[in-house]
Amino acid sequence: MQEILIGANKKTQVIMDAAMGNRHGMISGATGTGKSVTLQILAEGYSRLGVPVFMADIKGDLSGIAKSGQGHENITQRVQQVRVDNFQFRANPTVFWDIFARNGHPVRTTISDMGPLLLSHLLELNDTQTGILYSCFKIADDQGMLLLDLKDLRAMLSWMGENAKALKSDYGNISSASIGAIQRRLLVLEEQGASDFFAEPAIQLDDFCRTDFSGHGVISVLDATDLSSKSPRLYAAFLLWLLSDLFETLPEVGDAEQPKLVLFFDEAHLLFDRAPRVLVDKIEQIVRLIRSKGVGIYFISQSPLDIPEDVLGQLGLKIQHALRAYTPKDRKVIKAVAETFRSNPELDTAQVIKELKTGEALVSVLNKDGSPTPVERILVRPPESQIGALNETERLQIIERSPYKGRYDQEIDRESAYELLKQKAARMAEIAEQTQKPKSHRGRQSAGEAMLKSVARSVGSQLGRQIVRGIMGSLFGGRR
C-alpha cells in the first residue's frame, strides 16, 4: 500500500492512503500556523511515490521544495516525536513556471484551445454575446483562419461587425452592441496581462505530468505572487483552462493505487472571492467529476468556510491548523468548522482548534471504504526540503538546468486571423482604388469585376462570394 505520513501523536500515526489521493483535500488555518509546511510535506510525499505535483505559489514561499533542508534541533526533535523512518534531507525535482516569464518558464495557451465555451464563462457573457462568440469561432474555422492570441480574436470580432449584413444569412444577426460588449471585456482581460497567456508556443499538459529518472514525480511550481492579486481574471482564466483541459484529455482510470496528478491551490479564498460565479460553478463541476481521471485537488485557505459548500463536500482529507476566536463571528466559524469533522470522543474539537500550536493540526483522512476517520490532534511531520523560498540565484540555477529550457522561452507569432484580415483589407483597398481610376464606365466595371472575382476565388467559400457580391453591387449599381 502506498502511504504518506502526515504526523502523529503519542498514541498513533496519521497516515494517508495514496489510493484516496484523488478524493481531494483541504488544508486550513490562520496565518502563521503552518499551512505551507503541511502543503510541502504532502507534495513531497506524492513526489516520492512517483506522482507529479502542480502548485500555485501565491505567497512566494514554496520554492524551497527544490532544495535540500538543513538540520536543526527542532527538526530532529520533531522527527523523533512523529517517529519518521528513513528521514533524510533532500531536494525534490522541481520546474518553475510563470505566466509573465519572470520567475520561470512561460505558460501559454491559444484562444482556440481555450474555446468559446470557456471564454464565454470567463468573460461572463450573456446568451446573445455567447452566441456571437460561437459564430466568431465558426467563421474563423470556415475561413481557415487561426485564432491564436487576443489580437486575432479582436480583429475577427471587428471584421464581423463591419460585415454583419453579409454574414447574417449564414450566421444570424450580429449586433454591434454585443460585439462592443465582448471587446470591452477582452480589454479588461488584456490589461491584466492576458496577452502573455494567450500566445504560442502553447504549453503541453503532459509537461505537468512528468517523473524524473529516479521515478519521482516532478513538482511544477507556478509563480502566482502577482497573478492572484493584480490579475485575478487571468488567474481565473489559467485555472479554468487547466482544470477543463485535464478533465477533457485525461482518460478514465477509476480508483487507482495512487493519483496520476495532484494540484495544490494555496490561498484558495482569493480565487473564490474574486472569481465569476460561472467559474465557481465550473470548478464545482470539475471537482466532482475529475476524481475518475486520477486527479487530486487540494485547496489551502484560512478557513474551510472560504470554500463553496458544494466544493467542500467533495474534499476527503481535512487538515485544520489553529483558528483564533477574537470575535463572536470567529467563534461561530470555529463551531461550524468543528462540525465538519467526524467526532472523536476524546477530543473537544471546537476547543482544540483554538489551542493548537504552530505545527499542530486536527486531521481526518479517509478509510479504504471512503468513510472519514475520527479527528486526531497531531504534530505535523517536518519536510525534508527547505522551509521558505529560494533566493534569486538558486532559482535561476534551477531554471537554467530545466529540461524545458528553450522549449517555451521564445514567443512565436504565426500567420493567423489578424494577419490574414489585414491582408484582405489591403486587397479590398487596392480594388477600390483601381475602380476609381478615370477610365470608361464599361472598362472600369470589367477591371473591377475581374479583380473582385479573383478575390472571391481566393476566399473560396460561400461567405466570401456573398461579401464580394455585396461590394460589386455597391460599386457597379447592382449590375453583374
340 and 240 in a single domain? The answer is: yes
pLDDT tens for 239-294 read: 888 988 998 889 998 778 899 999 998 878 777 776 667 667 877 888 888 989 99
State residue 377's pLDDT score: 97
Q: Which residue has the cell 533532500?
A: 90
177 and 148 in a single domain? The answer is: yes
214 and 144 in a single domain? The answer is: no
Query: Domain boundary residue among 162, 180, 197?
Result: 197
pLDDT tens for 25-34 read: 999 999 889 9
Query: Domain boundary residue among 141, 164, 197?
Result: 197
Average pLDDT, the chain: 88
State residue 438's pLDDT score: 59
Distance from C-alpha of 277 to C-alpha of 275, rounded to nearest angstrom: 6
> Residue 40's pLDDT band (boundaries 50, 70, 90)?
very high
Whether 212 is covered by a domain: the verdict is yes
Q: Which helix (H) or strand (E) holds 329?
A: helix 328-338
Find out whether 15 and 4 touch, Cβ atoms under 8 Å.
Answer: yes
In terms of Cα–Cα distance, which of 264, 258, 249 is closest to 219?
Answer: 264
What Å distances lie between residue 434 and 109, 142, 166, 409, 444, CA to CA?
42, 29, 23, 45, 8
What is the reported pTM?
0.86
Terminal alpha carbon distance of the chain: 79
Q: How many helices (H) and strands (E) does the chain have?
A: 19, 11
330 and 371 in a single domain? The answer is: yes
User: Between helices 176-189 and 150-162, what is the axis angle to 10°?
Assistant: 170
The CATH number of the domain holding residue 47 is 3.40.50.300
State residue 285's pLDDT score: 85
DSSP string for 17-60:
EGGGGGG-EEEE-STTSSHHHHHHHHHHHHHHTT--EEEEESSS
Whether 435 is covered by a domain: the verdict is yes
Q: Between 153 and 461, where is the model more confident?
A: 153
Whether 422 is covered by a domain: the verdict is yes
148 and 218 in a single domain? The answer is: no
State residue 478's pLDDT score: 46
Query: Domain boundary residue among 162, 197, 232?
Result: 197
Whether 406 is covered by a domain: the verdict is no
Grid cell, residue 337, equals 468548522
> Residue 216's pLDDT band (boundaries 50, 70, 90)?
very high
255 and 297 in a single domain? The answer is: yes
218: Cβ contacts below 8 Å, ≥ 6 apart: 47, 52, 53, 93, 94, 95, 210, 211, 212
Distance from C-alpha of 55 to C-alpha of 138, rounded to nearest angstrom: 35
Percent pLDDT > 90 in the chain is 62
Whether 245 is covered by a domain: the verdict is yes
98 and 117 in a single domain? The answer is: no
pLDDT tens for 360-388 read: 999 999 998 889 999 999 999 999 999 99
pLDDT tens for 53-107 read: 999 998 889 999 999 999 899 999 999 999 999 899 999 999 999 999 999 999 9
Whether 407 is covered by a domain: the verdict is no
Distance from C-alpha of 349 to C-alpha of 164, rounded to nearest angstrom: 64
> Residue 462's pLDDT band (boundaries 50, 70, 90)?
low
Distance from C-alpha of 303 to C-alpha of 323, rounded to nearest angstrom: 8
Whether 137 is covered by a domain: the verdict is yes
> Residue 480's pLDDT band (boundaries 50, 70, 90)?
very low
Whether 34 is covered by a domain: the verdict is yes
Find out whether 133 and 248 touch, Cβ atoms under 8 Å.
Answer: no
265 and 345 in a single domain? The answer is: yes
| Number of folded domains that form the chain | 3
State residue 324's pLDDT score: 87
> Residue 47's pLDDT band (boundaries 50, 70, 90)?
very high
State residue 296's pLDDT score: 94
pLDDT tens for 159-211 read: 999 999 999 999 999 999 999 999 999 998 898 889 999 999 999 999 999 99
Give the angle 122-124-128 at the CA atoms, nearest 5°: 125
322 and 392 in a single domain? The answer is: yes
State residue 306's pLDDT score: 85
Structural domain range at position 451: 417-476
432 and 373 in a single domain? The answer is: no
Give the angle 315-319-324 at the CA atoms, nearest 5°: 120
Give the angle 174-179-184 at the CA atoms, nearest 5°: 175
Find out whether 109 and 198 touch, Cβ atoms under 8 Å.
Answer: yes
291 and 391 in a single domain? The answer is: yes
In terms of Cα–Cα distance, which of 99, 394, 385 is closest to 216?
Answer: 385
Grid cell, residue 223, equals 509563480
State residue 467's pLDDT score: 58
DSSP string for 236-255:
HHHHHHHHHHHHHHSPP--S
pLDDT tens for 316-367 read: 999 999 998 888 888 998 999 999 899 999 999 999 999 999 999 999 999 9
Q: Which helix (H) or strand (E) holds 402?
A: none
Lowest pLDDT segment from 34-38, 87-91, 311-315, 411-415: 311-315
Distance from C-alpha of 470 to C-alpha of 173, rounded to nearest angstrom: 17
pLDDT tens for 153-164 read: 999 999 999 999
pLDDT tens for 388-413 read: 999 999 999 999 999 999 999 999 99
C-alpha 211 chain-centroid distance: 21
386 and 441 in a single domain? The answer is: no
